[in-house]
Amino acid sequence: MTKIKICGLKRKEDIQYVNQLQPDYVGFVFAKSSRQVDLSWARELIQGLDQHIKKVGIFQDMRKEAVNHIAEGCGLDVLQFHGDEEPEYCKAFQREVWKAFRIKDDESFIQMQQYAVAGYLLDTYTAGQYGGSGKTFPWELAVNIKRTGLLIAAGGLHADNVREAIRILKPDIVDVSSGVEKNGLKNFNKMRSFIEKVRE
């Protein structure tokens, strides 16, 4: 069964939605973004989160000490890195690490081979932007990649295309953010529809 991550929670309503819908993972963005939260607000949100749902922190080119401080403060289960973090940097943490790769062409997968992480998140390449583009990448490029960890499909997923993404990529996890939003805010019905499509 493909697991589900809803990324970019920032309101108490978002927490209520996921507690009701029970995705496997939720993401809190600590990198610069319209969905960015700080440590104290994330901690407050997490206090209301169902304990069965795993917590992922999204970071970009942040000092290790700052990442560890946030991870400890929020009790994060997974650290997801979206910037230009080096392989050695990704090895330096005690928690589970996922590294995001922006997929443009076949060359994009060469870089992946250098990383020994628990999860490889495939996102869409957009010049000057790390994640959150709302656009898909050519999924066929990733069909034959070597897997040494979890494969997480991201980038432009929504209820109408997620089943096709699962059919082609066979990911361990699908990751959605803007695809379950309306006017920049998480929408309960879109989240429910996405989760139902995946779990069908």
The catalytic residues are 7, 123
Region of residue 114 (left: phi > 0; alpha: psi -120 to 50; beta: else): alpha
Three-state DSSP string of 104-131: CCCCHHHHHCCCCCCEEEEEECECCECC
CA angle 66, 129, 142 (to 5 degrees): 100
Could you tell me if 53 and 25 are in contact, meaning their C-beta atoms sit under 8 angstroms apart?
Answer: yes
